[in-house]
A = this chain, B = another copy of it.
Amino acid sequence: MSDKMMELVARRFRMLGEPFRLRLLQQLQAGEKTVNELVSALDGNQPNVSKHLALLHDAGLVGRRRDGTSMLYSISDPMVFKLCDLVCRNAARRSRREFEELSGNGKRKVKS
């Protein structure tokens, strides 16, 4: 993989590496929302929400359209959720394994 591509991929991952942006995307999963709606739904102030939305828009992860004085944001790249699914599934499996290792401490010998 070329260095350019590597940088692009890293950039994409970084974009998803912020809990607040993940929460924005999660909100948008239900459908398009205005900035104000997102400000209310999450507990952020307006400039911060706008900033993160601008970043997501620049990264091509969300689209937007005007509706009067409002701006409606929406998911433009559902790949995001595939990625999150993968990571979540993995995290769940990992924590389950950790739990089993802790509860079945000392590798108790089960028959077979």
A41 sits at the interface (CB 8 A): no
Q: Which of A1-52 contact B (CB under 8 A)?
A: 1, 3, 5-19, 22-23, 26
User: Taking the full assembly, how many copies of this chain does it contain?
Assistant: 2
Q: How many Å from the CB of A8 to the closest CB on chain B?
A: 5
- Is the CB–CB distance between B88 and A9 below 8 Å? yes
Residues of chain B contacted by A60 (CB below 8 angstroms): 94
Contact (A87, B22) CB under 8 Å given A60-B94, A94-B60: no
- Is the CB–CB distance between B88 and A79 below 8 Å? no
- Is the CB–CB distance between A23 and B6 below 8 Å? yes
Closest to A26 in B: B1
How far does the alpha carbon of A110 sit from the alpha carbon of B14 in the complex, in Å?
39
